[in-house]
C-alpha cells in the first residue's frame, strides 16, 4: 500500500471482533473509515474451535465461520479493509499519524483494536521448545498429539475449553492449575471434571519445560507439599491468559501494568481522539461479545468526537 | 491462491525444496488451523515481493505428514526457510510480514 495523502475520518487498527464491529458501525454511519489488519481478519477468534456463547447462535458457531461472517457483514456496508501492518501512532493535536512500513496514514480519529495473544509463562525451556512441543493453541496443534500424553497449564475458560478439545487426540491430559478450583465458567469446568482423559493436578505449578530438541517432561511443584517432580509429556500447552499487542503504543496512550490500554466508558484513551476496543483494553472480561460491544461504542464515541472537534 | 506460491508434498519436497537453486520458504499449514489461515495472505504477498529471489511453497501437514515429522514440527503455522537443502531459519506462529521480510533478507545477505 502506498502512503495515503488524504486524511481519513477514522482509522481502525486491527480486524478482530472489536475492529470489525467498529468498522461495521463506521460504514453504516457513512464515515470515511479504513480498517488496517496485518493478517487475515478474525483475530483470536480464528483459533477458536467452537464459539458457544455468541448470543443467537444456539448451536454454537465455528471461529472460522464467525470471523468470516463479521468480515462479510462489515464489507456489505462498504467498509474498506486493507492488509497493512501498523508500527506506530502519534498525534497530540487534531491530526493523528498512523505509521506503517509503507508510509503514514493520516486520520482525525483512531480506534485501537489491536487485540491480544496468548501469554507466555517465561519458564526455562519454554521459548527454546516453542513449536517443538510447547504450544499456545490446542485447535492448531492438537492433531500432532494423537495417542500421546500432554501437560496443559491454566485454569480459566481457554484452558478448560482447550483441554477438552485436546482429548479428541491425546490419550491423557494433565491439567496443571495453581489453585484448588477452576476459574473457568461452570459449564466448562463441569466438562473438564467429567472427562476421564483429563487429570487435574490441583495446586500445582509448572517450573520448567524439559527436553532435548523436543518436549519430554514438565517440571512441576506441588504447592501444598512443596514436592517437585518431572511429569513426562510429549507436549506442553500453555493457556494462562493473554498479553496485549500494544508494544508499539507504549508512551502513546496510558496502559495498566500489563500493557492493556486504559479507557473511559466511551472507550476514549488518554490521547484525545484515540479510542480503544476489545481485548487490548484493560478490563474485567475478554470475550467476543464484549469486544463487539466496545467496537460499537468506540465508533459512536469517535463520531461524537469528530462532530465536536472537526465539525 | 497466488501463482507465485507452489504446493509441495512429501513426494516433491526433496526436488522442489531441498534441491532448489533458490532459498525456499515453506509454510507448513493445515485447514483446521486458524493462525495458518490468518498468515496465508502474508505468505502470498512475500511470494510476489521476492519472486525470482526466493521460492515460496506451502505444505499441507495433513496430506504430507512425513516431512513435518522429519523436521520435528509439532506446531503450525511453522515457516522454514531452506537454503541449499538446510534449515536456515524457522519461525512458528502467525507473525507480521515485516518480521518474515527481515528473516528472508538476512538469508539473502
Chain B residues within 8 A of A38 when measuring between CB atoms? 42, 96-97
Average pLDDT for A80-97: 94
CB-nearest partner of A46 from B30, B34, B42: B34
Average pLDDT for A273-294: 97
Start-to-end CA distance of chain A, whole Å, equals: 29
In 10 A of CB A189, how many CB atoms? Answer: 18
Report yes or no: A132 at the B interface, CB cutoff 8 Å: yes
Nearest Cα residue to A176 out of A230, A257, A116: A230
CB-nearest partner of A46 from B37, B41, B42: B37
pLDDT tens profile A65-83: 999 999 999 999 999 999 9
What's the pLDDT at B1? 53
Active site residue A137: yes
For residue A58, the SS3 value is coil
CB contact under 8 A, A141 and B76: yes
| The three three-digit cell numbers of residue A17, written as one number | 471482533
What's the pLDDT at A30? 97
Among A89-93, A185-189, A271-275, the range scoring the smallest mean pLDDT is A89-93
* Torsion of the alpha carbons at A121, A124, A128 and A133, rounded to the nearest 10: -70
Q: Is the pLDDT of residue A250 over 80?
A: yes
CB contact under 8 A, A48 and B32: no
Nearest Cα of chain B lies from the Cα of A265 at a distance, in angstroms, of 31
Q: Is the pLDDT of residue A309 over 60?
A: yes
Q: How far apart are CA A75 and CA A91, in angstroms?
A: 28
Q: How far apart are CA A267 and CA A112, in angstroms?
A: 10
CB-nearest partner of A214 from B72, B92, B96: B72
In contact, B73 and B28? CB cutoff 8 Å: yes
Q: Is the pLDDT of residue A311 over 90?
A: no
Chain B residues within 8 A of A235 when measuring between CB atoms? 74
CB contact under 8 A, A132 and B75: yes
What's the pLDDT at A281? 98
| The three three-digit cell numbers of residue B48, written as one number | 510476489
CA-nearest residue to A135 within chain B is B75
What's the pLDDT at A138? 94
Nearest Cα of chain A lies from the Cα of B46 at a distance, in angstroms, of 13
What's the pLDDT at B91? 93
Q: How far apart are CA A74 and CA A78, in angstroms?
A: 7
Among A4-8, A163-167, A218-222, the range scoring the smallest mean pLDDT is A4-8
CB-nearest partner of B34 from A83, A134, A140: A140
Enumerate residue ranges in chain B where pLDDT < 50: none
pLDDT-based confidence at A3, cuts 50/70/90?
A: low
CB contact under 8 A, A131 and B92: yes
CA-nearest residue to A139 within chain B is B33
Report yes or no: A91 at the B interface, CB cutoff 8 Å: no
Q: How far apart are CA A47 and CA A16, in angstroms?
A: 12
Mean pLDDT over the full length of chain A: 96
Average pLDDT for A185-206: 97
Prior bond to B77 cis, omega within 30?
yes
**CA–CA distance from A208 to each of A101, A134, A142, A222 (Å)?**
37, 11, 21, 13
Q: Is the pLDDT of residue A52 over 60?
A: yes
In contact, A245 and A115? CB cutoff 8 Å: yes
pTM of the predicted structure, to 2 decimals: 0.93
CB contact under 8 A, B72 and A132: yes
pLDDT-based confidence at A92, cuts 50/70/90?
A: confident
Chain A residues within 8 A of B96 when measuring between CB atoms? 38-39, 85
Active-site option among A32, A68, A141, A254? A141
Question: Within 13 Å and on the Cβ side, how many CA atoms surround A305?
Answer: 24
Q: Is the pLDDT of residue A210 over 70?
A: yes
Number of A–B residue contacts, CB under 8 Å: 85
Catalytic residues of B: 33, 36
CB contact under 8 A, A130 and B75: yes
Q: Is the pLDDT of residue A99 over 60?
A: yes
| The three three-digit cell numbers of residue A158, written as one number | 481457554
Active-site option among A137, A263, A280, A281? A137
Report yes or no: A235 at the B interface, CB cutoff 8 Å: yes
CB contact under 8 A, A140 and B73: no
pLDDT-based confidence at A5, cuts 50/70/90?
A: confident
How far does Cα A281 stand from its chain's mean position?
Answer: 11
Chain A residues within 8 A of B39 when measuring between CB atoms? 39-40
Amino acid at each position: 500500500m502506498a502512503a495515503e495523502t488524504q486524511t481519513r475520518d477514522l482509522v481502525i487498527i486491527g480486524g478482530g471482533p472489536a475492529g470489525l464491529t467498529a468498522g461495521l458501525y463506521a460504514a453504516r454511519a457513512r464515515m470515511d473509515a479504513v480498517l488496517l489488519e496485518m493478517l487475515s481478519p478474525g483475530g483470536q477468534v480464528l483459533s477458536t474451535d467452537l464459539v458457544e456463547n455468541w448470543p443467537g447462535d444456539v448451536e454454537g458457531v465455528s471461529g472460522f465461520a464467525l470471523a468470516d461472517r463479521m468480515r462479510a457483514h462489515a464489507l456489505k456496508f462498504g467498509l474498506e479493509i486493507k492488509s497493512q501492518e501498523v508500527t506506530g501512532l502519534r498525534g497530540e493535536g487534531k491530526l493523528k499519524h498512523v505509521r506503517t512500513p509503507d508510509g503514514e496514514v493520516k486520520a482525525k480519529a483512531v480506534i485501537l483494536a489491536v487485540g491480544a495473544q496468548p501469554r507466555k509463562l517465561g519458564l526455562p525451556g519454554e521459548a527454546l521448545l516453542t513449536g517443538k512441543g510447547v504450544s499456545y493453541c490446542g485447535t492448531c496443534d492438537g492433531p500432532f498429539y494423537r495417542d500421546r500424553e500432554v501437560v496443559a497449564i491454566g485454569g480459566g475458560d481457554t484452558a478448560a475449553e482447550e483441554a477438552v478439545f485436546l482429548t479428541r487426540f491425546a490419550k491423557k491430559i494433565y491439567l496443571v492449575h495453581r489453585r484448588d478450583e477452576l476459574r473457568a465458567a461452570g459449564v466448562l469446568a463441569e466438562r473438564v471434571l467429567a472427562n476421564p482423559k483429563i487429570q487435574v493436578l490441583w495446586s500445582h505449578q509448572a517450573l520448567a519445560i524439559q527436553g532435548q530438541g523436543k518436549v519430554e517432561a514438565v517440571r512441576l511443584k506441588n504447592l501444598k507439599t512443596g514436592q517437585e517432580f518431572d511429569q513426562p509429556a510429549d507436549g506442553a500447552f500453555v493457556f494462562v491468559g493473554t498479553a496485549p499487542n500494544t508494544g508499539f503504543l507504549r508512551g502513546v496512550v496510558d496502559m495498566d501494568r500489563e500493557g492493556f490500554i486504559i479507557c473511559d466508558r466511551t472507550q476514549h484513551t488518554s490521547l484525545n481522539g484515540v479510542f480503544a476496543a476489545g481485548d487490548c483494553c484493560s478490563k474485567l472480561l475478554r470475550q467476543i461479545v464484549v469486544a463487539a460491544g466496545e467496537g460499537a461504542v468506540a465508533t459512536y464515541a469517535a463520531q461524537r468526537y469528530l462532530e465536536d472537534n472537526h465539525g | 491462491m497466488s501463482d507465485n506460491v507452489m504446493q509441495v508434498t512429501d513426494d516433491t519436497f526433496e526436488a522442489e525444496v531441498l534441491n532448489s537453486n533458490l532459498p525456499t520458504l515453506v509454510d507448513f499449514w493445515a485447514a483446521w488451523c486458524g493462525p495458518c489461515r490468518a498468515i496465508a495472505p502474508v505468505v502470498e504477498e512475500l511470494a510476489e515481493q521476492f519472486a525470482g529471489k526466493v521460492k515460496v511453497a506451502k505444505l499441507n501437514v495433513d496430506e504430507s505428514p512425513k516431512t513435518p515429522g522429519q523436521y520435528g514440527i509439532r506446531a503450525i503455522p511453522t515457516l522454514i526457510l531452506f537454503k541449499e537443502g538446510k534449515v536456515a531459519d524457522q519461525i512458528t506462529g502467525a507473525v507480521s510480514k515485516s518480521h518474515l521480510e527481515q528473516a528472508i533478507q538476512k538469508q539473502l545477505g
